[in-house]
Amino acid sequence: MNQSLTVTTIQTTLHWEDKALNLKMIEKKINEIKEKTEIVILPEMFSTGFSMRPEKLAETMDGETVQWMKRVAAEKKIILTGSIIIKEEGLTETGKPRYFNRLIWMLPNGQYGVYDKRHRFAYAGEDAAFTAGAKRLIASVKGWKINLLVCYDLRFPVWARQSLASVPTASPEYDILIYVANWPDRRIHAWRTLLQARAIENQCYVIGVNRVGDDGNNIHYSGESMVVDPMGEVLYTKKEEEDVFTIALEKDHLNTIREKFPFWRDADKFQVLNDDED
């Protein structure tokens, strides 16, 4: 499995709470990608911006944004991913509707996987507006395994940590860690530092896709989307500007690092329990 995997990141401004305009704008950027690519990664809440008004903006899994993702992925023959605001049936324990900040992993054939953001950003009220996810999503593409997470999850290393089987010959759980985000400029040092830390400690590629511009709450985003190799070396970053960037990740490079520096074999064995478990 010494294949390369070609990935495109889209760092863009977002039109505040305007789904139609965002989808039109992003589709134009996707159509303008000249290189052959296999995965296109969009920011967190790419159709609305990081809004705490799910009662106004949420849609179902049969809604317009998921249908748009299906169409674009099929037409461009790509995997398309990013997070949106989704409403599910049923109520929370407090009797409120269930809203999720949900990452969609859309395949060209219309099948998809989902990851609901585990760590909600209480500083902005996300914990009050959205329900927490409980399960990770690790996708598989061409022999690569990809762990998909959202923004604030970056601050919690246990949730991203490679989980190894008890036998010493086990291989790492995944090869690429992706974070889609709306990470403000005022805390961008943490973004840069933690993306590199996650790559080093998990000996994997890390991709962080952030937005740029100002949102409806006058919060500024400087982007600084990054691609980091398994040694923590930054292969790509872009500050302040909109940018569409395509890169081929090399399995040979990843395997060489893991074989030469097999630090992952010495990792602690652990289990992450859900909140309702003892």
CATH number of the domain encompassing residue 194:
3.60.110.10
Number of domains in the chain: 1
Residue 174 lies in a domain: yes
* Residue 239 C-alpha from the chain's centroid: 19
Structure tokens at 241: 């500007």
Q: Domain span at residue 27?
A: 4-266
Active site residues: 44, 117, 151
Distance CA 258, CA 253 (A): 9
pLDDT the model gives residue 168: 55
Residue 123 lies in a domain: yes
The answer to whether 4 touches 250, Cβ cutoff 8 Å, is yes
Strand ranges (DSSP E) for 135-233?
137-141, 144-150, 176-180, 205-209, 212-214, 220-228
Q: How many residues are there in the chain? A: 278
Residue 172 lies in a domain: yes
Residue 139 lies in a domain: yes
Full-model pTM? 0.95
Q: Give the pLDDT confidence of 56-90 residue by residue, as tens digits.
A: 999 999 999 999 999 999 999 999 999 999 999 99
Q: Give the pLDDT confidence of 238-253 residue by residue, as tens digits.
A: 999 999 999 999 999 9
Distance CA 128, CA 52 (A): 9
How many angstroms separate the Cα of 227 from the Cα of each of 10, 17, 255? 12, 28, 17
* Residue 212 C-alpha from the chain's centroid: 16
Distance CA 244, CA 42 (A): 10
Give kind and range of the element (H or E) at residue 88: strand 79-91
Q: Give the pLDDT confidence of 183-239 residue by residue, as tens digits.
A: 999 999 999 999 999 999 999 999 999 999 999 999 999 999 999 999 999 999 999
Chain mean pLDDT for the chain: 95
Residue 271 lies in a domain: no
Residue 180 lies in a domain: yes
Query: Phi then psi for 107, rounded to 5 degrees?
Result: -90, 160
Residue 275 lies in a domain: no
Residue 277 lies in a domain: no
Strands 4-11 and 243-250: antiparallel
Q: Give the pLDDT confidence of 102-114 residue by residue, as tens digits.
A: 999 999 999 999 9
